[in-house]
Amino acid sequence: MNRVSGSLWRPIASALCLSLFVTLPLPASASVVDDVAALFQKGNYAAAEKLAKTGLRQRALAAQLQLALARLYIRTGRYKLAAAALRRAKGNRALRPEVGLLEAKLDIHLGNRERAIRTLSALLRQNEAFHRARVLLGLTLYDVGRNALGYSALDKLADFYNDEKIKSARDLTSLGRALHRNEFYRNANEVFGDAVKADPSYLPANVHWGYLFLDKYNYNDAAKSFEDVLKINPNHPDALIGMAEILLRSEYNRDGALKRIRKALAINPLHEGALCLKAEINLDAERYKAAIADLEPLLKLNPNHLRALTLTGTAYYLLDDAARFDAYTKRVLKLNPKYAELFHTAAEFGVKVHRYAEAIKLNERALVVNPKFWKSYVSLGINYSRVADDKKAKEYLEKAFENDPYNVRAYNMSAILFDKVFKRYELVRSTHITFRFHKEQSAILKRYAIPLVERAYRTFNKKYRFVPKAPLQLEIFKNPRDFAIRTVGLPRISVHGVCFGHVITSRSPSDGNFNWEQVLWHEMAHVYHIQLSHSRVPRWFTEGLAVYEATLAKPEWKREMDLVLYEALRQKRVAGIAAFNLEFTQAKNFKQILAAYYQAYVVMEFIDKTWGFAKIRQMLVLYGQKLHTPQIFKRVLGIETAEFDRRFAAFLKKKYGAYRGYFLADLDFYRDLSAYQKRVDKNPKDAEAWARLSVAQVKSGKLSDASASLARALKLDPKQPLANYLAANKALAERQIDVAKKHLETMVKSGHDGYYVRLKLAAIARAKKDNKGALAHLLKAASIVPSYPDAYRMLVGIYLKDKQPDKAHEVLRKLALIDQNSAGVVLRLAEYDGKRKKWRDVERWARMGMAIAPFRYQFHYHLGLALLETKRNAAALEELEIARSTIDAALVGRGSEQMKKPAALVYAALARVTWALGQKAKAREHVAKAKELAPQLDDVRSLETLIR
């Protein structure tokens, strides 16, 4: 849905600009009422309250000011005060409709829905054109499950519009809300646009327009609506929560969302949207008891709050407390027998913890309750696709899109994925698994993906003593956007692969910038973890174990984040195992997520080496029996989680013993500005504290304060290592190379040598054209941390510049086992060893290259050549044919001239292999093509001898 300007049926020429308060003729002395309204409009609630109370002395305005106070008290969650103010305002006959409307709103907040319905019905009997009362009545009727009556009540607003009786921003907003609830989304969009055009200062129009966009995943236009509200009233809690939802759903900016939630709760501690969204964040973080606690104040106020009851029930479902989930289910359905959202919500949170099959059953229960709940059709379609039932998936998605064409996920999955994307793909069946490949990439993927995945299947079957339940399906998508839509229904996702237990989706290695073989091995491991645990394995456990499995499969697949984990150990910040999932769910940036993956991997390494893999398998089984981590560790390992944490720390100290004494600080750890400020306040002569405060100030953008803190640290202790390291960084940023060098050399001389210290000294040496000095620093860096790639990369550059290819090659061999995603490294190795006719090494590098960039002809050429030279001619021919088909495409169009030489080499190799296989006519054709492309090449000239 896009933002649309203009009217639904006809353009509206003009509209009245209405106050947020009562639209009655007021005497001149009523300016205080206008002033209160203006303060309320701007969100100055304390000032508005004070002015209204002062104005109560004017008896003629007392009732209107009591009404204003009642609105303010409802906005700020002071419901008893609101009720008292309404009782005082009720004596004014002219105000009684507004009083009645607010009484109904108050009753809804308190859970007295039937009384609200009676009040609103009475108001409409007195004035059927009271549109705000009508929309509230319709919404409340829906809320109690009388959907037909709710629809009818709201539909009446369209009649008023057709009779040209709805023109003001306020009434247009009521109509827009009615259209939204009755699922006329396009019309609602247009009407809200008309309302905003009629009076941009009427804030409810943009608030409800924003929530319409939010409902349909249109986050950009939703943000525009909420921002327009917050420009006028920065304290509007509904707009704040709308922005919080956008931040959470569009980019999972948890901190940004919580900041706005806290602001809304400071305005109204009982704000329903804020408390529910806070609970959702805790559900996402798998802090289920915290989510329940978040909702307790709301349910104490309103025991009938459907969303709060639903989220509480969902928390119990995720805790595997079936009795309490059933109790909340009954409670919700008693309040609203058609409230399908209950099951849909539980399903949506369930899929976040791998419960895909259960999500299907929950959504099916939702449709029993309400057969027209289209969100569950979308969820059913997506989740059937995740268990490899494309037929049912398509049926549900088409039904959803047919009835809710503005649901972006329904559109993406139905109109784009099934109707267009899948037509460009083919299904290929191996012995145990079905694959979906793009037709243009199928030949190569069949050759490499299928054997890899079948090998993983055999390996894990034996290791886990478990055969996964069929169907098993693996899909590799050429276009990252198609991969994202297939995976989550939306066009953006940052990962390379996802496992749903029965289905794996992955990006294609088209770009050649990630190790796709490692990704597939990792995701195949998840199949066993999810199925063996009946979808109950915690994220930290399955991710750590999958990373460990990849590391065991091939040494070059090991991840390298030892310094981050060592720094966490040094600062006593290694995550405890009992709440380890929070390291994933509450990570503030991508680096923290990667660090969580790495620690989880090392945890699995520790368990395997200490207790054996059989214990890991037993833990998966017990997760499947709905036991939790502390219980499982006690039963399987025989220790409490606290004792495990102690032993794991000891394991890390031993593992990273070689790092002791070096300066290896990770500056990302120094972010807690308030903590470091308190530390220097407590001990102003602590140089290290001042240095840490300086880092935190840099991270917070307070650069001048950071400079002052750094100067203070160096004055207190000129040799303080962190301060000198920061000073060096600052000097390098200011291009003061000699100053930076002095600080770094001070660190080395004072016993604080380190990996990054040496890298910076090497960079300074290179800037001074001192290659000898740079080499010494880089070799020292590599000896300190042999598992990190930066020093090796710089060494290769220096050796190549100094024309020392043998030394560069030696370093490249080390780098290839560390930098698992660099096709360039292994290509250089293949070329170098090819010139030296080390064909087994060429084969090794070519195969490693294929794990990164299988669509690059060079790797097929080098592999084909290596196979040819080692007399495996049939396999060589297959590889060289792939190289030929890839390079032929490059011979057409721009850049074709530069491709002639490599193409001639491919054809020359093809000539040799076809001749060896007795295909002499074919060999002569290849010779002719090679001569046509580059007759001057030695490899081509030598063919003349071959074909005589």
CA-wise closest residue to 66 among 50, 43, 48, 87: 87
How far lies 135's CA from each of 18, 284, 386, in Å? Answer: 18, 33, 39
Name the band, by pLDDT with cuts 50, 70 and 90, for residue 140.
very high
Helix 873-890, helix 900-916: angle, nearest 10: 150
Whether 12 shows a pLDDT value over 70: the answer reads no
Q: What is the DSSP letter of 469?
A: P
Contacts of 772 (CB under 8 A, 6+ apart): none
HEC assignment per residue over 556-614 = HHCCCCHHHHHHHHHCCCCCCCCCCHHHHHCCCCHHHHHHHHHHHHHHHHHHHHHHCHH
Structural domain 828-946, CATH architecture: Alpha Horseshoe (1.25)
Report the topology of domain 754-819: 1.25.40
> Do residues 680 and 686 lie in contact, with contact meaning Cβ atoms separated by under 8 Å?
yes
Contacts of 926 (CB under 8 A, 6+ apart): 907, 908, 910, 911, 914
What digits encode the pLDDT tens for the residues 306-357? 999 999 999 999 999 999 999 999 999 999 999 999 999 999 999 999 999 9
Average pLDDT over residues 379-391: 96
Q: Is 19 helix (H, G, I), strand (E, B) or coil?
A: coil
DSSP states along 897-923:
GGGHHHHHHHHHHHHHHHHHTT-HHHH
Of the chain, the percentage scoring pLDDT greater than 90 comes to 88
Contacts of 693 (CB under 8 A, 6+ apart): 673, 676, 677, 679, 680, 709
> Do residues 318 and 288 lie in contact, with contact meaning Cβ atoms separated by under 8 Å?
yes
> What pLDDT is recorded for position 26?
41
Average pLDDT over residues 593-616: 96
Who has greater pLDDT, 8 or 356? Answer: 356
Write out the two tokens for 266: 């400071």
> Do residues 474 and 506 lie in contact, with contact meaning Cβ atoms separated by under 8 Å?
yes
- Domain span(s) for CATH 1.25.40.10 in the chain: 112-197, 754-819, 828-946
Q: What is the rounded distance in angstroms from the CA atom of residue 854 to the CA atom of residue 449?
A: 10
Name the band, by pLDDT with cuts 50, 70 and 90, for residue 227.
very high
Name the band, by pLDDT with cuts 50, 70 and 90, for residue 9.
very low
The single residue listed with the structure tokens 């939306």 is: 490
Write out the two tokens for 862: 């080098």
The top-scoring range by mean pLDDT among 332-346, 673-687, 892-906 is 332-346
CA-wise closest residue to 55 among 47, 81, 233: 47
> Do residues 45 and 72 lie in contact, with contact meaning Cβ atoms separated by under 8 Å?
yes
- Taking every pair of Cα atoms in the chain, the longest distance, rounded to a whole number of angstroms, is 118
**Could you tell me how many residues make up the chain?**
948
Contacts of 296 (CB under 8 A, 6+ apart): none
Contacts of 726 (CB under 8 A, 6+ apart): 691, 694, 695, 698, 710, 713
> Do residues 267 and 76 lie in contact, with contact meaning Cβ atoms separated by under 8 Å?
yes
The single residue listed with the structure tokens 């009732």 is: 63
> Do residues 498 and 505 lie in contact, with contact meaning Cβ atoms separated by under 8 Å?
yes
Name the band, by pLDDT with cuts 50, 70 and 90, for residue 893.
low
The CATH homologous superfamily to which domain 424-535 belongs is Collagenase ColT, N-terminal domain (3.40.30.160)
The single residue listed with the structure tokens 């029930």 is: 313
Q: What is the rounded distance in angstroms from the CA atom of residue 173 to the CA atom of residue 157?
A: 11
Average pLDDT over residues 636-641: 97
> Do residues 99 and 63 lie in contact, with contact meaning Cβ atoms separated by under 8 Å?
no
Name the band, by pLDDT with cuts 50, 70 and 90, for residue 898.
confident
Whether 3 shows a pLDDT value over 90: the answer reads no
Name the band, by pLDDT with cuts 50, 70 and 90, for residue 6.
very low
Beta strands in 410-486 (DSSP E): 425-429, 434-438, 473-477
> What pLDDT is recorded for position 698?
93
What element of type H or E holds 47? helix 45-55
Number of neighbours of residue 806 by Cβ within 10 angstroms: 9
- Looking at 1.25.40.10, 3.40.50.720, 3.20.20.60, 3.60.110.10, the CATH number of the domain 112-197 comes to 1.25.40.10
> Do residues 216 and 185 lie in contact, with contact meaning Cβ atoms separated by under 8 Å?
yes
> What pLDDT is recorded for position 30?
58
What digits encode the pLDDT tens for the residues 916-930? 999 999 999 999 999
Whether 889 shows a pLDDT value over 90: the answer reads no
What digits encode the pLDDT tens for the residues 143-191? 999 999 999 999 999 999 999 999 999 999 999 999 999 999 999 999 9
Average pLDDT over residues 644-670: 92
Q: What is the rounded distance in angstroms from the CA atom of residue 372 to the CA atom of residue 452?
A: 44
> Do residues 229 and 206 lie in contact, with contact meaning Cβ atoms separated by under 8 Å?
yes
Whether 667 shows a pLDDT value over 50: the answer reads yes
- Averaged pLDDT score across all residues of the chain: 93
* CATH code 1.25.40 for 26-96: yes
Q: Which amino acid is at 106?
A: L
Name the band, by pLDDT with cuts 50, 70 and 90, for residue 25.
very low
Pairing of strands 497-499, 503-507: antiparallel
Whether 199 shows a pLDDT value over 80: the answer reads yes
HEC assignment per residue over 634-677 = HHHHCCCHHHHHHHHHHHHHHHCHHHCCCCCCCHHHCCCHHHHH
Q: Which amino acid is at 898?
A: Q
Name the band, by pLDDT with cuts 50, 70 and 90, for residue 895.
low
Phi and psi for 95 in degrees, rounded to 5? -90, -5
Q: What is the rounded distance in angstroms from the CA atom of residue 229 to the CA atom of residue 202?
A: 9
> What pLDDT is recorded for position 894?
63
Q: Is 851 helix (H, G, I), strand (E, B) or coil?
A: coil
Please give the model's pTM, rounded to 2 decimal places: 0.89
Name the band, by pLDDT with cuts 50, 70 and 90, for residue 933.
very high
Q: What is the rounded distance in angstroms from the CA atom of residue 399 to the CA atom of residue 50?
A: 55
Average pLDDT over residues 379-392: 96
What digits encode the pLDDT tens for the residues 61-108? 999 999 999 999 999 999 999 999 999 999 899 999 999 999 999 999
Of the chain, the percentage scoring pLDDT greater than 70 comes to 96
Q: Is 137 helix (H, G, I), strand (E, B) or coil?
A: helix
Write out the two tokens for 670: 């120094």
Q: What is the rounded distance in angstroms from the CA atom of residue 292 to the CA atom of residue 290?
A: 5
- Using left for φ > 0, alpha for ψ between -120 and 50, and beta otherwise, residue 735 falls in left
> What pLDDT is recorded for position 800?
94
> What pLDDT is recorded for position 16?
28
Whether 5 shows a pLDDT value over 70: the answer reads no
Q: What is the rounded distance in angstroms from the CA atom of residue 650 to the CA atom of residue 665?
A: 20
> What pLDDT is recorded for position 926?
94
Burial 70-95 (b: 16+ CB within 10 A, else e): bbbbbbbbbbebbbebbebbbebeeb
- Domain span(s) for CATH 3.40.30.160 in the chain: 424-535
> What pLDDT is recorded for position 200?
97
Torsion angle of C-alpha atoms 718, 720, 725, 728, degrees rounded to 10 = 0
Whether 42 shows a pLDDT value over 60: the answer reads yes
> Do residues 102 and 86 lie in contact, with contact meaning Cβ atoms separated by under 8 Å?
yes
Q: What is the DSSP letter of 574?
A: P
Q: Is 947 helix (H, G, I), strand (E, B) or coil?
A: coil
